[in-house]
Amino acid sequence: MPIVVDIDVMLARRKMPVGELAGRIGITPANLAVLKNGRAKAVRFTTLEALCEVLDCQPGDLLRWEPGEPQDTTA
């Protein structure tokens, strides 16, 4: 997927455990794992806002685009 999620990078920089982040932003650790592992199909702006607030960062610190193979969207 050309969108890369760098939540792990910010967690390491902030020395914050995943469970603490999940609790502070109000989502389950399982849903946070889906997001941070790049398996989420979408992210709510409210969740992105909470992530940025708790991690004291910008959305671009958490999400980046890497060019890759075009995906077939006709299936």
Q: What is the pLDDT of residues 28-69, one digit of tens each?
A: 999 999 999 999 999 999 999 999 999 999 999 999 999 976
pLDDT band at 16, cuts 50/70/90? very high
**Any domain includes 74:** no
> In terms of C-beta density within 10 A (0-12 exposed, 13-18 middle, 19 or more buried), how is residue 43 classed?
middle
CA 75-37-32 angle, to 5 degrees, is: 110
Taking the model in full, what pTM does it have? 0.85
Q: Residue 48, SS3? A: helix
Question: Residue 50 maps to which CATH number?
Answer: 1.10.260.40
Tell me how far apart the alpha carbons of residues 70 and 25 are, in angstroms, rounded to a whole number: 33
Residue 22 has pLDDT above 70, yes or no: yes
**Any domain includes 70:** no
Q: Which structural domain, as residue segments, surrounds residue 56?
A: 3-62
